[in-house]
Structure 1
Amino acid sequence: MSAAVSLEERERLLAGRDLSIDLVRVCCVLLVVVLHSLMLGLTVWPDGAIGWRNVVQEQPWFAVASWFGQLMPLFFVVGGFASWQGWRSTVRRGGGAGEFFRARLLRLGTPAAVWFVLVGGLVWAAAGAGLPMPVAQLLAKGLGMPLWFLAAYLLCQAAAPLLIRLHERHRSATILGLAAGIVVVDALRRVTGVQEVGLANLLLVWPLVQQLGFLLADGTLARLRRPALAGLAAAAFGAVGVLASSGLYSPDMLDDLNPPTLPLVLIGVGQTALFLLAKPGLDAVMSTRPAQAFVGLAGTRMMTVYLWHLLLVIAVAGSVLLAPGVVPAVGTTAWWFARIPGDLVVLFVLFLISLGVARFERGPRRVGPVPSAPALVVAGVLAVVPPFWAMEAGLDLAGFVWGAAAMSAAVLIARGRPAA
């Protein structure tokens, strides 16, 4: 009986889903884990200071490789696809923008609030147990590195209902307007020399990349033939090369990530075209039960993997401090090969952690009526400020405290008062 129920539940969950989209989402997050393990090499400098060395970015091939390995644009594309479907589902139920955003905020903010509390507690406990303060501060700052995604994604989710309406009524004008805004912001940043001007592109670059997901969801891109898709990918990556050669932008997409710039949009276009070219093969893979089981398991743990992986990557990198004569020196051939067992350890421990905390990705079990628009605005601001601050200034020990308070308050406001 239980086997039949689980099969029915599985069929219900898979019905109507584009499983190749789910596969891409999972692979993007897992690749982030691998890339961060390559980027974060803990090093003891000759003067005894402890710091990070980004070994992979030092390689001559890294800049061009980042056009394909920097998968955040593709993640926002598939996120736009999911937002389109989620908004359609909300409208069919009679819901509106408030209900849509509340659901997204709870799905993202609840595991983030738990992360701030638990990881912040670990960092404070480590400092109290005798971990040198410079190391504790370095640890805290490093742990905040991936949180920019949370701020950017929440902003996209808040804007999704409006942008979907604009996409349906004024598709070309919306895309061209966002693109023009990005060009203006990039130009102002170069002319003034004020890097903070580029932060305005958080409101333009990622929403424009999200629009590509809408084009994917409404079938526009699916109507392109394979030669056209190949030409689109070549044109997009070729344009990135032209912009990089001109000196206007860095060829390294890690440098162009925060603040985000125009090349990331072009990378998103090229990666989306490559995804559509590979989609028949991905659909074939996702027709198999092992692939469906893997994506089904990993797909319910994506925020957990994203939030918690850097703590484990740092712990593995920190083993050089405990056994400097045994652990390979950063950047050596042995160090590169050691990334394989290191990543496997990280992924295994992440799975163990997910057994306890992944349930928070479903949000609170009980929620009240959808809060008013002003209350949701306050909740959204409270949820965006901590990851935005971590992106700009990095977390410190105090940052975990007020970040946990702000994120928890956002979740409580969005949750509302459940009925008795």
Structure 2
Amino acid sequence: MPDPERAALLARRDVVVDLARVACVLLVVVIHLLMIGVGLDASGAIVVSRPLEAQPWFDAATWVGQIMPLFFALGGFTGLTSWRSLQRRGGTAADFIRARTMRLATPALALFAFFAVVLGAATLAGVDPALLETVAAGTGTPLWFLAAFLLAQCLVPLLARLHERAPWVTLATLAGAAVLVDAVRVATGVVDVGLLNLVFVWGFAQQLGFWYADGWFRRRTSPRLVGLAATAYLLVWPGVEAGWYSPDMLTNLNPPTVPLMLLGVAQVSLLSLLHAPLKLLMSSRAAQAAVFLIGSRAMTLYLWHLPVIIVIAGLSLLVPGAAPEPASAAWWAGRPVVFVVVLAVVWLVSVPLARFETVTAAVHDGFRRPAAAAVVIAAVLAFIPPFAVMEWFLDLQLAVGGAVLLAGSVVLDRPRRLRVGAVATTPTR
């Protein structure tokens, strides 16, 4: 890329956000890699375990490693900046929702179709149903994110308007609603009440990204950012001590709970605190190239890394010495190598899948945007499959049904060809 073009690109971006997003995705891969232990013991028997969760320091580590609140905050930053840019070009809320739906539903369609074919073939081949159920449930674990993130992004136009009118009231309302939902869930024992916090907890985390985009966090002094992060962490503890929340912050993920909001405050504060050195790091061409390269395939990496990890773990059983007993010294020592192999395989997988991730929402000459009603239906169709997986785990029926619904979403969001004599609407991106 020529220097003037590169400088113009960097001037339009917060490269620290790009770095943080890539770091979040890679950390998710590392966590899943350390959670899946498949190997052979001294007798040659297959051992399956979850080594990371067995460590005495695991719960404490999740207070740092649970980075989904930061991911939603980063999504809030990009969502708000994209929404404002779209508004300046005359775009509408329907245009924004359509673009966000397409960019999530299209990559998800490829994955659900893959699962439908593989699980269907395995079922016809007579694979043990219990084994198939376990593998399918495991590989579908990350799909909850698609439902939660799509829901949060669809709310960006509304929440952005509320943010502009009353930022503190909007943030406090989301926080108060999340606390109320958790209180009802704890008092009644009805876990599904917590699903309301898909809106309130993740909406709050996303709203933090709005505040970050407006520069509020970076206008705070370093001592204030440290104090804000420390206070947020300290406020998590009473609920854990009272037994309302698990000390394992990954357990507090689905349904999302109040501690995740507090972790979000701490994480955005710390990111702002480290903004200057991270921006300096991103001033090098090598760092920019690595971050932009991985970032261009971030969704593919997130969606496909777990199936790749499971396949590699299974294949390693066929190679002498490649599958040491999980949690053994040899197993831990081999994780960096496996991590590199997983990234390499996912990158190879991403080559034919690139067109699903780089889908554009542009409406070219001779076409028009779909009606607002079609956009809303498309968003609902895209939300249902990952939400169903979050609630009931992935299986053949959900894979097939999900592929059908996602295909319907993609079709509904496609531009419509103009009739002769009709006037095109303004293209959107």
- TM-score, normalized by length of structure 1? 0.93
Moved more, 352-361 or 287-296: 352-361
CA distance in 2, matches of 1:413, 1:194: 36
The one-letter code sitting in structure 1 at the alignment partner of 2:250 is L
SS of residue in 2 equivalent to 1:204? helix
The yes-or-no answer on 1:311 pairing with 2:307 is yes
The one-letter code sitting in structure 1 at the alignment partner of 2:406 is M
Structure 1 residues 173 and 203: alpha-carbon distance in aligned structure 2, compared to 1, 3 A threshold:
same
Match of 2:403 in 1: 404
Native 8 Å contact 2:369 2:416 kept in 1: no
Native 8 Å contact 2:39 2:324 kept in 1: no
CA distance in 2, matches of 1:321, 1:70: 30
CA distance in 2, matches of 1:321, 1:133: 21
The yes-or-no answer on 1:376 pairing with 2:372 is no
Match of 2:179 in 1: 183
The yes-or-no answer on 1:84 pairing with 2:80 is yes
Moved more, 362-371 or 336-345: 362-371
The one-letter code sitting in structure 1 at the alignment partner of 2:103 is R
Native 8 Å contact 2:47 2:326 kept in 1: no
Moved more, 340-349 or 326-335: 326-335
Native 8 Å contact 1:110 1:364 kept in 2: no
The yes-or-no answer on 1:95 pairing with 2:91 is yes
Match of 2:200 in 1: 204
The yes-or-no answer on 1:390 pairing with 2:389 is yes
Q: Say what the alpha-carbon RMSD is for the aligned residues.
A: 2.2
The yes-or-no answer on 1:351 pairing with 2:350 is no
CA distance in 2, matches of 1:222, 1:265: 19
Moved more, 358-367 or 398-407: 358-367
Match of 1:245 in 2: 241
Q: Give the gaps of 5 or more residues in structure 2.
A: 420-429
CA distance in 2, matches of 1:37, 1:116: 22
The yes-or-no answer on 1:57 pairing with 2:53 is yes
Moved more, 86-95 or 239-248: 239-248
The one-letter code sitting in structure 2 at the alignment partner of 1:373 is A
Moved more, 195-204 or 7-16: 7-16
CA distance in 2, matches of 1:419, 1:286: 45
> Superposed, which structure 2 residues align to 1:6-405 within 5 Å?
9-42=5-38, 53-129=49-125, 131-319=127-315, 321-322=317-318, 327-364=323-360, 367=363, 368-405=367-404
Shift of 1:50: 8.7
Native 8 Å contact 2:184 2:193 kept in 1: yes
CA distance in 2, matches of 1:132, 1:43: 20
SS of residue in 2 equivalent to 1:101? helix
Structure 1 residues 390 and 377: alpha-carbon distance in aligned structure 2, compared to 1, 3 A threshold:
same
Moved more, 205-214 or 52-61: 52-61
Native 8 Å contact 1:230 1:273 kept in 2: yes
Q: Give the gaps of 5 or more residues in structure 1.
A: none
* CA deviation profile, 1:112-139 (whole Å, cap 9, x unmatched): 1111112432333344445433222222
Native 8 Å contact 2:36 2:50 kept in 1: yes
Shift of 1:11: 4.1
Moved more, 362-371 or 267-276: 362-371
The one-letter code sitting in structure 2 at the alignment partner of 1:238 is L
Structure 1 residues 229 and 407: alpha-carbon distance in aligned structure 2, compared to 1, 3 A threshold:
same
Native 8 Å contact 2:305 2:342 kept in 1: yes
CA distance in 1, matches of 2:15, 2:122: 42
* CA deviation profile, 1:56-92 (whole Å, cap 9, x unmatched): 1222211111111111111111111101110111011
- TM-score, normalized by length of structure 2? 0.91
Native 8 Å contact 1:98 1:370 kept in 2: no
Deviating above 6 A after TM superposition, structure 1's stretches of 4 or more consecutive aligned residues are: none
CA distance in 2, matches of 1:266, 1:66: 14
Native 8 Å contact 1:20 1:286 kept in 2: yes
Native 8 Å contact 2:98 2:361 kept in 1: no
CA distance in 2, matches of 1:407, 1:52: 33
CA distance in 2, matches of 1:122, 1:239: 45
SS of residue in 1 equivalent to 2:254? coil
Aligned residues: 414
SS of residue in 1 equivalent to 2:252? coil
Native 8 Å contact 2:112 2:403 kept in 1: yes
Native 8 Å contact 1:383 1:410 kept in 2: yes
Structure 1 residues 117 and 366: alpha-carbon distance in aligned structure 2, compared to 1, 3 A threshold:
farther
Moved more, 10-19 or 394-403: 10-19
CA distance in 1, matches of 2:167, 2:100: 24
Shift of 1:370: 2.8
CA distance in 1, matches of 2:39, 2:295: 34
CA distance in 2, matches of 1:297, 1:119: 26
CA distance in 2, matches of 1:26, 1:359: 20
CA distance in 2, matches of 1:43, 1:252: 26
